[in-house]
């Protein structure tokens, strides 16, 4: 049987890794797929031929649209990234009856509903395992391996740059800006690190996870997103003293009121496995009603780890080329007509415990007044610490952990606390998740 011919859009880090892994493991991949797989044509504006193996068998062009129009290709791998022209290329490939494999989390999070509807109508597949957590097969695990479960919640470290920064801050007591510069020098963070440090990258990925977990349309615009730029070394140290570690988590949970979709710094008990995932590694914790908690750990980015997920999707597509389109695994785990319009909860309607840090005057009665304000809003204090004063201290850090409370109640209390003359500046908050329910 003739090999399946594939078009590759992009010969950068992931595109080059995909070509290299396919060239190196061609025989093994063919044994798994049932047919050979060959990248016949690739589109790239610039690339390094010396870093690529098997390039001599690939026709390279700088016109990506000519690749998706090539009638000899059955599968298009989109590794350009971003919204445009990736969206236009993917939709054109689908319109031409080609299956699509992509690692583009931004594209799927923003335009996945449109893309999947077009694919459904045309009878082709769109596979996107590499869009979330790089080489970790988390999409397949949730969509297929846990298909018998009612997913209760997912919590994941799904951005390696943020995890590297927080790990360095904890282990070496370094400032955020200092570690960010190192992350950029090491290639972990882009020159413009906004998507990583402000949580946008993680929110793209969480949008996808929430959709396949709960059978809802993709709704990136409703995902609450908060970055790590306000975390200070003292917060990391106080968290440690309370028995917690700060991780930048994406959390989605189904409740009676709706679905939580939120990305933010989170304090996690140090004994949880996910609290001990360090450096640039990713991990996703999934709680199913039947299986209980399961943890998926591995490289969340990089040339060959991401290529591993890309090519696994290609193998899946090749295996189903002759399958009735109605009997394939649905793009978002649930059959297209079975997606629910469950509301996404605004962050004000989400219940969490909280870490609070504020600068307070070294005067009698200040702590009692703050505790009274919290109590008036129905907020219980679980633990409290205050730094011992020195002769030079007029304002001291006051740190506390609350029990679970609706965020809108906390907002009222914090507004009242910040109006006190005895409180200097804004109250720092970090949500606390024990991940044991």
Return the active site residues: 205
The phi and psi torsions of 279 (rounded to 5 degrees) equal 65, -140
- Coil, helix or strand at residue 204: helix
Can you say whether the dihedral through the CA atoms of 225, 118, 322, 35 is positive or negative? negative
C-alpha–C-alpha distance, residues 138 and 285, integer Å: 10
- Coil, helix or strand at residue 300: coil
DSSP 277: -
C-alpha–C-alpha distance, residues 339 and 113, integer Å: 11
Cα 217 to chain centroid distance, Å, stands at 17
- What are the percentages of helix, strand and coil residues in the chain, rounded to 5? 40, 25, 35
C-alpha–C-alpha distance, residues 395 and 270, integer Å: 30
Cα 322 to chain centroid distance, Å, stands at 33
CA dihedral 113, 119, 123, 125 (to 10 degrees): -100
Intra-chain end-to-end CA distance of the chain, in Å? 51
C-alpha–C-alpha distance, residues 196 and 181, integer Å: 13
Q: Are 307 and 17 in contact (CB under 8 A)?
A: yes
What angle do helix axes 407-418 and 366-376 make, rounded to 10 degrees? 150
Residue whose token pair is 């009692």: 368
């Amino acid at each position: 049987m003739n090999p399946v011919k594939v078009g590759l859009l992009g010969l950068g880090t992931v595109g080059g890794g995909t070509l290299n892994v396919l060239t190196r493991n061609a025989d093994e991949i063919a044994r798994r797929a049932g047919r050979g797989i060959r990248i016949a044509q690739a589109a790239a504006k610039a690339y390094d031929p010396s870093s690529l193996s098997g390039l001599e068998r690939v026709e390279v062009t700088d016109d990506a649209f000519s690749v998706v129009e090539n009638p000899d290709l059955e599968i298009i791998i989109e590794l350009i990234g971003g919204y445009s022209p990736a969206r236009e290329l993917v939709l054109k490939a689908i319109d031409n009856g080609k299956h699509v494999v992509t690692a583009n989390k931004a594209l799927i999070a923003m335009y996945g509903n449109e893309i999947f509807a077009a694919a459904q109508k045309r009878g082709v597949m769109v596979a996107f395992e590499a869009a979330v957590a790089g080489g970790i097969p988390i999409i397949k695990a949730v969509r297929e391996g846990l298909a018998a479960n009612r997913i209760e919640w997912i919590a994941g470290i799904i951005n390696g740059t943020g995890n590297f920064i927080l790990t360095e801050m904890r282990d070496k007591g370094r400032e955020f800006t200092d570690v960010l510069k190192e992350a950029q020098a090491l290639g972990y963070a882009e020159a413009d690190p906004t998507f990583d440090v402000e949580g946008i990258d993680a929110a793209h990925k969480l949008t996808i996870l929430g959709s396949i977990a709960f059978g809802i349309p993709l709704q990136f615009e409703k995902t609450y997103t908060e970055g790590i730029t306000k975390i200070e070394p003292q917060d990391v140290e106080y968290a440690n003293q309370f028995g917690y570690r700060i991780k930048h988590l994406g959390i989605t949970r189904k409740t009676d009121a709706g679905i939580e979709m939120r990305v933010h710094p989170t304090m996690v008990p140090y004994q949880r496995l996910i609290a001990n995932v360090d450096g640039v590694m990713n991990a996703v914790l999934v709680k199913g009603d039947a299986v209980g908690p399961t943890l998926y750990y591995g490289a969340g980015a990089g040339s060959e780890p991401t290529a591993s997920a890309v090519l696994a999707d290609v193998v899946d597509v090749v295996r189903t080329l002759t399958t009735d389109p109605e009997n394939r695994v649905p793009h978002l785990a649930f059959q297209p007509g079975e997606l629910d319009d469950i509301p996404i909860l605004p962050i004000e309607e989400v219940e969490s415990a909280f870490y609070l840090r504020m600068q307070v005057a070294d005067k009698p009665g200040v702590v009692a007044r703050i505790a009274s304000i919290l109590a008036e809003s129905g907020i219980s204090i679980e633990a409290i610490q205050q730094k011992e004063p020195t002769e030079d201290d007029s304002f001291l850090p006051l740190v506390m952990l609350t029990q679970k409370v609706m965020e809108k109640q906390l907002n009222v209390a914090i507004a009242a606390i910040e109006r006190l003359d005895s409180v200097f500046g804004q109250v720092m908050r970090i949500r606390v998740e024990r991940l044991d329910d």
